[in-house]
Chains A and B, each alone.
Chain A
């Protein structure tokens, strides 16, 4: 679902281009800063990795790197699932649904309460497969409901407002949902009930992998395949693509645009719900503000892969998860930065900033920044 709206404004762009070129010649500060920045980063990455890999003491073993990679893939799958929600909505409405991280949080909370009941009922240990299906069902239902409600209450009245207006509303919605959860359910972090048959590891391709991570990766792949099928093969998916191309023409073709938008939010919510369960299973905790940082990171993933595209969001999530899991140690341990994992978020946010500065269209998209 790529956005082709920009090409319609070509005449305006061509008129402005000479002017921009003149300005760029007059003020080369930006170019200078960008070039210096990229050289510095490249040098830092090379030096850091070289030093870490040639460390004499405190060297990280092959098994250590392997674990980082596996964890990165699992984390990336979660990011990818959330990122799809951003991407789908952006593809259609051209707006950043800032509160999407909270949709994910609601899913995790719903599954937490159900898991608690299942634990007391003993079903969690007796029939883990059925329990996990129930958990997924509860989480996706809750997330979908919140996502649809969000669209109805906060975004639909602003469909034609200036661009910053829905973004500010979305920030408000994010805050509102977080603190609603805090006052409804309490602001302490809650330990997720552990599922006995998900403890320990499975051997996949000769590598021992924690069972929760395997489950996460499998769930993400299943959801991705399902989503691709939904978008490319079903009538509703076709309608979604049509609305993403051009809302007005789509509505002239008899597509109920509002309904498609609601469905898009719903689908994004379902994916976020699955991500919520997986996140809770992997990290074992739910808290009211758990959605904020993963939400921003997932947005980073969506932009990284090119916002508006399904494959891009998946790939972006994977890359971000891997980089976040490997890079802090790889780049910083060698130059003797204490506790490099504290700087994990810095790595993720730096990627966000760098991608938006250098390639706002995503690493597979164009480097021309969108304006508007």
Chain B
């Protein structure tokens, strides 16, 4: 690579990194996340966010380039120089921004960008004030950029354990609300690992976590392939036994979990379960059948409202009295379940039928329209006698069995667990069934599927009905969990959140939905300061996943191939280019 090319890359990476750092500062994340200690008082989440842009600029900016099918890395010294320069640019631009804010009359910038507080400026200049702090900021950027680039120079057997170790340590630090109570209940002393006052990992704790995870990575890279091969060579019955045992262990762990982590975190898990159900339902519609539904919240709402109306609830009148809605039954919850499922599935068909012939993006907008219509109708004064209007319905009865209620977080978790297990089982079986195969055929090429005798109308309706049925389960549980429902809980943002879960995890992949829900619902639930930025992060996640990894984090193999058809063709072409060399080498050896 030529010098000018390298310079251009350094500048580009630096500019992107600078935009990132300035964005994080303006959004207020760097200041707000200072409260969250990750390792001692030595590294906070805010510090981490401040360090990431230059680090990533150095790392990504020195990525080897694909030239004519071959990865071409720059010389080690050039790599470090590029890293240093891009990091310095990140620091420099941010420093220029800080200087600008300080130069303008006080409060002039804050009138527009409300997060630009004196505290933020002090954090960015390391508390050193203008001239010294700005120089420190540039040096800080350059050092981290160089570090990021230097990481690239490490051979894989050194770099990988370090990377995994760092990631694991950070994960442990971020899960600081879940691990300490868990370990404490197991009778372990955690004070050496997690600091009781600072909440984050202690410095020795962090070192131990890092050492263990890095060590395990080294071990796995030495032994891993052999172990995997042995598992693959097990006779089928032994493998089934192994799978069964791990499933059983997982079940036992899940059953014990709420008792170990306590009530507050069980509440978070309950919410995770509700979104998991919705994710599984939307996964059938979007992932299996390829129909983008943006009004999915309608089924969630239908489930919740029908549960309330079928199992007794009250509404608040304009003068504040509690009265029963115009139409209300008082069924047992478990009797209501099949009824609600049938009604919601019918609603799904009703919504699906008129839009069947629409193209994908129009379908998305129409379903979005349906979702909004449903919400506005529910909260209108017109239907207030049935739905309770903006105040909604309250006193929804509990799903008690023999006097044992499920409203408290811990019992509720078990209820959710049962429903989720059921939904996962159904999804799993559906995917491999004739129906699932018809869906994937339809998703890949509608005309071809129709020509092969797949009734696309029937299977599209079936997808809508199945998706609606699973979605309404989450609505039912939601009504039971909080006991009162209001239209404010059923906005379009719920639909988009669930979509983000499915997309992030990987369309059509059940483990993907689980991972997506844990990341997008569980993590914000564990760290309160994320709550404010939840939707911002969802938006960014949707864009980033689609641009960089459209198949999602835990991809469904088949779906991945569809999304990467072009890349696959490219890979084929590359292989062809390399092929002669391989045969010559092979021939010489034999």
Q: A27-B458, A164-B290, A183-B115 are in contact. Are A19 and B381 (CB under 8 A)?
A: no
* Interface contact B358-A369, CB-CB below 8 Å: yes
* Interface contact A186-B114, CB-CB below 8 Å: yes
Q: A165-B550, A185-B114 are in contact. Are A342 and B355 (CB under 8 A)?
A: no
Tell me which residues across on chain A come within 8 A of B368, comparing CB atoms. Answer: 296
The answer, among B115, B360, B366, B455, for a CB contact under 8 Å with A357, is B366
Q: A33-B353, A183-B536 are in contact. Are A343 and B542 (CB under 8 A)?
A: no
The answer, among B112, B380, B451, B538, for a CB contact under 8 Å with A185, is B112
Tell me which residues across on chain A come within 8 A of B111, comparing CB atoms. Answer: 113, 116
B129 CB, nearest partner CB in chain A, Å? 25
Complex-state Cα separation, A371 to B350, whole angstroms: 21
Tell me which residues across on chain A come within 8 A of B536, comparing CB atoms. Answer: 175-176, 179-180, 182-183
* Interface contact B114-A175, CB-CB below 8 Å: no
Nearest A-chain residue to B354, judged by Cβ: A357
Nearest B-chain residue to A183, judged by Cβ: B27
* Interface contact B382-A169, CB-CB below 8 Å: no
Q: A33-B354, A369-B359 are in contact. Are A161 and B366 (CB under 8 A)?
A: no
Whether a CB of chain B sits under 8 angstroms from the CB of A140 is: no
Whether a CB of chain A sits under 8 angstroms from the CB of B482 is: no
Stretch among A194-202, A212-220, A250-258, A345-353 lining the B interface? A345-353
Tell me which residues across on chain A come within 8 A of B23, comparing CB atoms. Answer: 180
Tell me which residues across on chain B come within 8 A of A164, comparing CB atoms. Answer: 290, 292, 360-361, 364
Q: A95-B361, A157-B547, A346-B373 are in contact. Are A171 and B496 (CB under 8 A)?
A: yes
Tell me which residues across on chain B come within 8 A of A148, comparing CB atoms. Answer: none
Tell me which residues across on chain B come within 8 A of A332, comparing CB atoms. Answer: 382
Complex-state Cα separation, A332 to B376, whole angstroms: 15
The answer, among A30, A171, A353, for a CB contact under 8 Å with B369, is A353
Whether a CB of chain A sits under 8 angstroms from the CB of B533 is: yes
The answer, among A113, A167, A178, A342, for a CB contact under 8 Å with B380, is A342
* Interface contact A158-B546, CB-CB below 8 Å: yes
Q: A34-B354, A168-B499 are in contact. Are A16 and B458 (CB under 8 A)?
A: no
* Interface contact A360-B381, CB-CB below 8 Å: no
Whether a CB of chain A sits under 8 angstroms from the CB of B356 is: yes
Tell me which residues across on chain B come within 8 A of A179, comparing CB atoms. Answer: 533, 535-536, 539
* Interface contact B532-A353, CB-CB below 8 Å: no
Complex-state Cα separation, A19 to B453, whole angstroms: 10
Q: A33-B353, A180-B27 are in contact. Are A339 and B381 (CB under 8 A)?
A: yes
Whether a CB of chain A sits under 8 angstroms from the CB of B126 is: no
A-facing residues in B1-59 (Cβ within 8 Å): 23, 26-29
The size of the chain B interface, using a CB distance under 8 A, is: 67
* Interface contact A185-B533, CB-CB below 8 Å: no
Tell me which residues across on chain A come within 8 A of B112, comparing CB atoms. Answer: 113, 185
* Interface contact A184-B360, CB-CB below 8 Å: no
* Interface contact B365-A356, CB-CB below 8 Å: yes
Whether a CB of chain A sits under 8 angstroms from the CB of B540 is: yes
Whether a CB of chain A sits under 8 angstroms from the CB of B321 is: no
Nearest B-chain residue to A372, judged by Cβ: B359
* Interface contact B365-A296, CB-CB below 8 Å: yes
B97 CB, nearest partner CB in chain A, Å? 14
B183 CB, nearest partner CB in chain A, Å? 35
Tell me which residues across on chain A come within 8 A of B546, comparing CB atoms. Answer: 158, 161, 165-166, 168-169, 172
* Interface contact A338-B382, CB-CB below 8 Å: yes
Whether a CB of chain B sits under 8 angstroms from the CB of A39 is: no
Whether a CB of chain A sits under 8 angstroms from the CB of B562 is: yes
Complex-state Cα separation, A299 to B359, whole angstroms: 16
* Interface contact B539-A349, CB-CB below 8 Å: no
B22 CB, nearest partner CB in chain A, Å? 11
Nearest A-chain residue to B108, judged by Cβ: A117
Q: A171-B542, A180-B27, A184-B113 are in contact. Are A360 and B358 (CB under 8 A)?
A: yes
* Interface contact B114-A19, CB-CB below 8 Å: no
Whether a CB of chain B sits under 8 angstroms from the CB of A121 is: no
Complex-state Cα separation, A370 to B451, whole angstroms: 19
Complex-state Cα separation, A292 to B369, whole angstroms: 12
Tell me which residues across on chain A come within 8 A of B503, comparing CB atoms. Answer: 168
A108 CB, nearest partner CB in chain B, Å? 14
Q: A154-B547, A175-B496, A346-B377 are in contact. Are A352 and B28 (CB under 8 A)?
A: no
Complex-state Cα separation, A338 to B379, whole angstroms: 12
* Interface contact B447-A352, CB-CB below 8 Å: no
Nearest A-chain residue to B367, judged by Cβ: A353
The answer, among B115, B369, B456, for a CB contact under 8 Å with A352, is B369
Tell me which residues across on chain B come within 8 A of A37, comparing CB atoms. Answer: 354
* Interface contact B113-A339, CB-CB below 8 Å: no
A314 CB, nearest partner CB in chain B, Å? 20
The answer, among B355, B381, B496, B562, for a CB contact under 8 Å with A162, is B562
* Interface contact B376-A357, CB-CB below 8 Å: no
Tell me which residues across on chain B come within 8 A of A345, comparing CB atoms. Answer: 372-373, 376
Whether a CB of chain B sits under 8 angstroms from the CB of A173 is: yes
* Interface contact B360-A167, CB-CB below 8 Å: yes
* Interface contact B539-A163, CB-CB below 8 Å: no
Complex-state Cα separation, A176 to B499, whole angstroms: 14
B-facing residues in A81-107 (Cβ within 8 Å): 95-96
Tell me which residues across on chain B come within 8 A of A163, comparing CB atoms. Answer: 359-361
B-facing residues in A142-157 (Cβ within 8 Å): 153-154, 157
Whether a CB of chain B sits under 8 angstroms from the CB of A325 is: no
Nearest B-chain residue to A342, judged by Cβ: B380
* Interface contact A343-B539, CB-CB below 8 Å: no
Q: A184-B26, A338-B382 are in contact. Are A161 and B355 (CB under 8 A)?
A: no
* Interface contact A12-B114, CB-CB below 8 Å: no
Whether a CB of chain A sits under 8 angstroms from the CB of B563 is: yes
Nearest A-chain residue to B541, judged by Cβ: A172
Tell me which residues across on chain A come within 8 A of B380, comparing CB atoms. Answer: 339, 342-343, 346
Complex-state Cα separation, A1 to B380, whole angstroms: 40
Q: A157-B547, A162-B563, A172-B543 are in contact. Are A27 and B457 (CB under 8 A)?
A: yes
Nearest A-chain residue to B548, judged by Cβ: A157
Tell me which residues across on chain B come within 8 A of A176, comparing CB atoms. Answer: 536, 539-540, 542-543
* Interface contact B382-A349, CB-CB below 8 Å: no
The answer, among A30, A162, A177, A303, for a CB contact under 8 Å with B353, is A30
Tell me which residues across on chain B come within 8 A of A12, comparing CB atoms. Answer: 447
Complex-state Cα separation, A171 to B368, whole angstroms: 12
Complex-state Cα separation, A160 to B541, whole angstroms: 20
A-facing residues in B98-153 (Cβ within 8 Å): 111-115
* Interface contact B550-A161, CB-CB below 8 Å: yes
Complex-state Cα separation, A148 to B150, whole angstroms: 35
* Interface contact B362-A169, CB-CB below 8 Å: no
Whether a CB of chain B sits under 8 angstroms from the CB of A264 is: no
Complex-state Cα separation, A372 to B543, whole angstroms: 23
Tell me which residues across on chain B come within 8 A of A116, comparing CB atoms. Answer: 111
* Interface contact B376-A346, CB-CB below 8 Å: yes
Complex-state Cα separation, A339 to B383, whole angstroms: 11
Tell me which residues across on chain A come within 8 A of B353, comparing CB atoms. Answer: 29-30, 33
* Interface contact A349-B359, CB-CB below 8 Å: no
A-facing residues in B34-89 (Cβ within 8 Å): none
Complex-state Cα separation, A164 to B369, whole angstroms: 18
Whether a CB of chain B sits under 8 angstroms from the CB of A337 is: yes
Contact bitstring B470-497, A, C-beta under 8 A = 1, else 0: 0000000000000000000000100010
- Give A contacts to B, CB under 8 Å: 12, 15-16, 19-20, 23, 27, 29-30, 33-34, 37, 95-96, 113, 116, 153-154, 157-158, 160-169, 171-180, 182-186, 292, 296, 299-300, 303, 332, 337-339, 342-343, 345-346, 349-350, 352-353, 356-357, 360, 369-372
Q: Can you name 8 extra interface pairs (CB under 8 A) apart from A167-B361, A180-B23, A346-B380?
A: A23-B456, A96-B365, A168-B499, A183-B115, A183-B536, A296-B372, A352-B365, A352-B366
Q: Nearest 4 CB-CB pairs, A to B?
A: A172-B542, A176-B539, A175-B539, A179-B536
| 30 intermolecular pairs with C-beta atoms under 8 Å apart | A19-B450, A23-B455, A30-B354, A37-B354, A96-B365, A113-B112, A157-B547, A158-B547, A161-B546, A162-B563, A163-B360, A164-B360, A168-B503, A172-B540, A172-B543, A178-B539, A180-B27, A183-B28, A183-B29, A184-B113, A185-B113, A296-B369, A342-B379, A349-B369, A349-B376, A353-B373, A356-B358, A360-B358, A369-B358, A370-B359
